[in-house]
Amino acid sequence: MQRISTTVRLNRSVLQFDDAANARLEQYLAESASLLEGDPDPQEILGDLEQAVADQCTRRMRAGQSVVTLAELEPALDEIGSVQAPGNGSASLHPPREAAPRTLQQVSEGAVISGVCLGLARYFQLDVTLLRVISFLLLLGTGGAMVLVYLGLMLLMPYAPLEPGNTPIRWLPAKSRAFMEFLRVKLGVDRPGKVAST
Amino acid sequence: MAAESKLAPIRKGLLEFLVLKIVGAKSVYVPDILRDLAGTEFTTQEGTLYPLLSKLRREDLVQYEWKESDAGPPRKYYRLTDAGRAQLGELNEYWNLINRTIANFGH
């Protein structure tokens, strides 16, 4: 079999790879790049990994051998392993997705008025205090028109199912929820049988 | 082993602490760290360590400098920053605290 080698620059090293090894290397690096999606500094890590591959392959080559084959590359990649996100912290590469589909809902637990801000904060993954401050400033800035917006959202946004375990709800959100659910039935906003029960 | 699924996240969480400890003891490059961890419960691969070190560098806990090596290209040597040393101190203290707490229960 004819072997055509490719010169590959791996960070600070330059090595010759045969076709099969070169294809495997490209696959590994593409895989690593996709695993690092969302990492703030993937280039640094990829550069380090390239150097690791080069060092590991060089260490495995026989004296006088000039071309890296799968015989060196496979054990090298096994030792390096696939890219793993750091264990914790905000820099988690793949933030765990919530199992439930993201829906825009009012959240009663921890709510101040009815849970609109809390629901928006969860949906857009924003800080709820920030949203409350913005809403309050809009309330002042719009001369009260914000009240109508809030009432509109109260009517339009369904209520999230209550958390299990009877988490306490403040008086006002509890009353709002009861009243809005009553109003919805009256207005026919909620289709029968689709009351949040799950 | 049923307990394994509970032990894995503990190890994963502690790896960062351990890496800070190793880097704190002396200026090291990645193969040194891997060798120190090899054979312990925390045996680790480059694919795990480089992303972790990159994160620690972004958090300004470690820094690296290039050093020439006798064989091959220059190597990245990592050491702790002042912030890294401070955090390692905090982690050590907390670790000791947790250990005492755990030891005190269940008698």
Q: Decide if A49 is inside a domain.
A: yes
Amino acid found at A77: L
Judged by phi (left if over 0) then psi (alpha if -120 to 50, else beta), residue A188 lies in left
Instruction: Kindly report the nearest CA distance between residue A43 and chain B, in angstroms.
Output: 10
Q: Decide if B39 is inside a domain.
A: yes
Under 8 Å between Cβ of A59 and A10: no
Instruction: Test A80 with B72 for CB contact under 8 angstroms.
Output: no
Under 8 Å between Cβ of A111 and A173: yes
Beta carbons within 8 Å of B15's beta carbon, 6+ residues apart: A87, B42, B44, B48, B52
ipTM for the assembly: 0.84
Q: Residue A24's pLDDT is what? A: 94
Q: Decide if B54 is inside a domain.
A: yes
DSSP state of A138: H
Pure H helices in B26-81: 30-37, 46-58
Q: Residue A96's pLDDT is what? A: 44
Instruction: Kindly report the nearest CA distance between residue A46 and chain B, in angstroms.
Output: 9
Q: Decide if B2 is inside a domain.
A: no
Within 10 Å of residue A100's Cβ, how many Cβ atoms? 9
Reported in sequence order, the residue ranges of chain B that DSSP labels E, i.e. its strands, are 62-67, 75-80
The values of phi and psi at residue A134, to 5°, are -60, -45
Pure H helices in A125-188: 128-141, 145-156, 171-187
Q: Decide if A195 is inside a domain.
A: no
Q: Which of A80, A98, A128 is the last residue of a domain?
A: A80
Q: Which pTM was predicted? A: 0.60
Beta carbons within 8 Å of B79's beta carbon, 6+ residues apart: B23, B26, B27, B28, B62, B63, B64, B65
Q: Which of A80, A100, A129 is the last residue of a domain?
A: A80
Q: Decide if B9 is inside a domain.
A: no
Supply the DSSP string of B43-58, one letter for each residue: ---HHHHHHHHHHHHH
- pLDDT band at residue B87, thresholds of 50, 70 and 90? very high
CATH of the domain at B80: 1.10.10.10
User: Whose CA is closest to B45, among A68, A28, A182, A3?
Assistant: A28
Q: Decide if A51 is inside a domain.
A: yes
- CB-defined contacts A:B, below 8 A: 72
Q: Decide if A157 is inside a domain.
A: yes
Instruction: Kindly report the nearest CA distance between residue B29 and chain A, in angstroms.
Output: 11
Q: Decide if B5 is inside a domain.
A: no
Q: Residue A182's pLDDT is what? A: 86
For A21, the domain range is 5-80
User: Average pLDDT for residues B80-87, to the nearest whole number?
Assistant: 96
pLDDT in tens, B19-54: 999 999 999 999 999 999 998 999 999 999 999 999
Q: Decide if A149 is inside a domain.
A: yes
Instruction: Test A86 with B16 for CB contact under 8 angstroms.
Output: yes
For B35, the domain range is 14-104
- pLDDT band at residue B56, thresholds of 50, 70 and 90? very high
Q: Decide if A34 is inside a domain.
A: yes
Number of folded domains in chain B?
Answer: 1
Q: Residue A67's pLDDT is what? A: 93
Compare B1 and A188 and report the one with higher pLDDT: A188
Beta carbons within 8 Å of A192's beta carbon, 6+ residues apart: none
Residues of A with CB under 8 A from a CB of B: 11-13, 32, 36, 39-41, 44-45, 48-49, 51-52, 54-55, 58, 79-89, 91, 93
Q: Decide if A21 is inside a domain.
A: yes
3-state secondary structure of A55: helix
DSSP-assigned beta bridge partners for residue A20: none
Q: Residue A87's pLDDT is what? A: 53
Q: Decide if B86 is inside a domain.
A: yes
Question: Rounded distance, CA A93 to CA A185, Å?
Answer: 44
Q: Please, what is the Cα angle at A139 between A136 and A143, to 5 degrees?
A: 155
pLDDT tens per residue, chain A (198 residues)?
Answer: 556 788 989 988 899 999 999 999 999 999 999 999 888 889 999 999 999 999 999 999 998 999 999 999 999 999 999 998 775 443 344 444 444 567 888 988 889 999 999 999 988 888 899 999 999 899 888 888 888 999 999 988 888 888 777 778 889 999 999 888 888 888 876 554 444 444
Residues in B closer than 8 angstroms to A36, CB to CB, are 51
Number of folded domains in chain A?
Answer: 2
DSSP-assigned beta bridge partners for residue B55: none
3-state secondary structure of A33: helix
Q: Decide if B7 is inside a domain.
A: no
Instruction: Kindly report the nearest CA distance between residue A79 and chain B, in angstroms.
Output: 6
